[in-house]
Homo-oligomer: A and B are copies of this chain.
Amino acid sequence: MFRPSSIAVVGASRNREKIGNIITRNLLATFRGKIYPVNNKAEKVENLQAYKSLKEIPGDVDLAIISVPREYVVQVMEDAVEKQVKAAIVITAGFKEIGEEGAKLEEQLVSVAKKGGIRFLGPNTMGLISPDYNGTFAYANITRGNIALVVQSGGIGAYMLDWAQRTRTGISFLVSMGNQADVKEYEVIEYLSRDPETRAIFVYLEGVSDGEKFLDVVPEATQRKPVIFIKGGATSKGAEAVKTHTGSLAGSYEVFRAAIRTVGGIFVEDLGDFLNLSRLVTSSEPINEDILVITNSGGHGVLTSDAIVRNNLNMVELPERIKDELRKVLPPTSLPKNPLDLSGDAGRDRYMEALKIVQDLDCTKLVIVQSLPVVSDSEVAKVLLNFKGKGIVAVTMGVDEDSAMRILESASIPAFNMPESAIRAIRYFTTKPVVRKKIRVAQPINSALELVKGKQYLRDYEALQLMEIYGIRTPKWGIAQSEEEAQRVADNIGYPVVMKISTDTPVHKTEMKGVVMNVEKEQVKQVYKELSKITKRVLIQEQLTGLETFVGGIKDPVFGHSVVVGSGGIYVEVLKNVGHAIAPVYEDEALEILKESKVHDMLTARKRNYDEGSLIRTIVSVSRLIVDLNVKEMDINPLIVNEKGAFAVDVRIVF
């Protein structure tokens, strides 16, 4: 598929507005091997001999690109099998993406191809561009280079090609995945990671075909070269009813993001950022998170500093000796500081002098030029060519920004036309992803298996027992079925206690007015009496103080088990400051998601000595437990953390 010697275009029309014709012309413009148009009516297509069917082609066919009406696609695939075609690209749409009828046709197509040993891309794809050929119906004029694009939307692929062309970004491959009926995105990523012409892989996904395989295969690819992901469909939530908070929080977007972290990919939210990042990836400037801003406009300096701080990058402090040297070349109206404002009357020479002084500082030099009658972007761009390799990132703004960018790009110096875009690209580029391959072999504990056997839910006290089996601490607790038993249990625990209704299914006890806090010795029987109007069984717990946190687990339909952490109680619902990770997690990753969710900050605020280690161990245990017992959804909320440890107060589990 990627390096064919001969290609047949099935559905090669003579009409220049039809997709089959455009593909034929794109091949004519790019492919050096044999091209066989297949058209059941025409003798010739674009001056090439045409054939009535694949079977009539005299020579071997490595690849068939199929663009015929939907109802003929399966027949064409059967012909391809008979002709012993090695691979196919099915351009035609109208399969799984439009509903049940299309899905059936897609199944037929897969079965025919599988039986015949043909691997195929699509259906519903824009096609494939390799260094050898353009097998798409996008425009043919592509700059060759080192960026590979893998897209799950042909339109996005077409846009990226246009963008690459406009910004003179060189492309090695474009693979439009379509419905992924056969060839999957992880296979393509893996192939491209081994391709010597490709320096970085940019992937637009709307979904993943097989989460487990993705988690298994992609980590090896990201160790070879940067793989950058963007996801479409961020806000579409599954309509499935959910029983726990975790269920409602773990929208597939968050789990997707966690999966990208696990495999060591770079995750970007915005299409513009995604494309801009390619400018840094293809350059070899040494770029780090310490930034020195050099500009001829005070306002640009101010806005850029804002963007640097917002993006958690660092404004470097200039050393005194550098300041002294700068004072010699700056006018009295400019101060030697960062941002370094060369002032509105700065010409190319002032840029040159300042850059000479700072060139050996170990930092990124973000050079911003606002075109003015006294200086043009292009003049400064030429100055910058002298400092290639010194960590230069340019932002050219104003009338001749485009020609300045062209000068810089031809020297592989990254150039942008907005400071914010440059800053965000630097932020993503300097993020160092860690690959964390997940091994998901269930190693359940026998007593746990016995406890959960055949159950869809655990009762509240059973869930507490399960916590204890997995080494997760709980507040002292007991169950009472009468006033006397309640008194006895509470006396054993010590006062004050919390008393709750004890239910067989997961419910919001607070909403049912089923929780009473601060119960003292003399109140126990009365409280029991009240609560027993709702449930005869009452749960009595030691009343703990500390930070209320939340630890949950969910089985994502795509990526399988993952954990969620956040602040507990209502904060998890309202603030949605949560951290996600694919299970199982280890201690370092648990700490990372605690930081992401800001729980880490809360534990350490005000010189508190709350036991973060205990919380980390709890997260690790939960991530283990959900894999071992194949939990569908669970949450511990609250999990109270104080100086003595982390304690699971309320636990809900659904299998």
Contact = CB atoms under 8 A, between A and B. Distances in A.
A302 B94 contact: no
A19 B343 contact: no
Contact of A154 (B98, B154, B234, B297): B297
Nearest to A137: B373
Contacts of A335: 98
A97 B291 CA distance: 23
Given A93-B343, A162-B398, A420 B270 contact: yes
A210 to B, nearest CB: 21
B371 A155 contact: no
B234 A306 contact: yes
Interface string A302-329: 1101100110000000000000000000
A162 B420 contact: no
Given A235-B310, A606-B510, A372 B297 contact: no
A598 interface: yes
A17 interface: yes
A433 interface: no
B607 A570 contact: no
Within the oligomer, what is the number of copies of this chain? 2
A139 B373 contact: yes
A271 interface: yes
Contact of A511 (B598, B601, B607): B607
Contact of A299 (B232, B418, B573, B574): B232
Contacts of A397: 159, 162
Interface in A330-348: 332-335, 343-345, 347
Chain B CB within 10 A, most for which of A126, A155, A234, A271: A155
A300 B602 contact: no
A283 interface: no
Interface in A185-242: 204, 206, 232-236
A508 interface: yes
Contact of A152 (B270, B299, B347): B299
A489 interface: no
B295 A574 contact: no
A272 B418 contact: yes
A297 B159 contact: yes
A153 B298 contact: yes
Contacts of A94: 332-333
Contacts of A547: 570
Contacts of A511: 606-607
A418 B139 contact: no
A410 interface: no
A97 B295 CA distance: 16
A451 interface: no
A545 B22 CA distance: 71
Contact of A93 (B344, B418, B570): B344
Contacts of A252: none
Contact of A151 (B165, B299, B370, B601): B299
A507 interface: no
A47 to B, nearest CB: 19
Interface in A362-412: 370-374, 397-399, 401
A371 B418 CA distance: 25
A336 to B, nearest CB: 12
Contacts of A98: 332-335
Contact of A574 (B204, B305, B306, B602): B602
A371 B162 contact: yes
Nearest to A155: B297
A305 B570 contact: no
A299 B131 CA distance: 25
Contacts of A234: 306, 309-310
Contacts of A607: 511
Given A272-B418, A607-B511, A300 B156 contact: yes
A439 interface: no
Contacts of A138: 372-373
A605 interface: yes
A158 interface: yes
Contacts of A143: none
A155 B295 contact: yes
A145 to B, nearest CB: 18
A630 interface: no
A518 interface: yes
A296 interface: yes
A155 B298 contact: yes
A637 to B, nearest CB: 12
A158 B606 contact: no
A271 B332 CA distance: 29
A571 interface: yes
A449 interface: no
7 contacts: A153-B297, A154-B344, A155-B297, A157-B299, A158-B297, A235-B305, A573-B606
Given A94-B333, A232-B302, 5 more contacts: A154-B298, A204-B299, A517-B545, A571-B571, A574-B602
Going nearest first, the 3 A-B pairs with the smallest beta carbon separation are: A155-B297, A153-B299, A156-B299
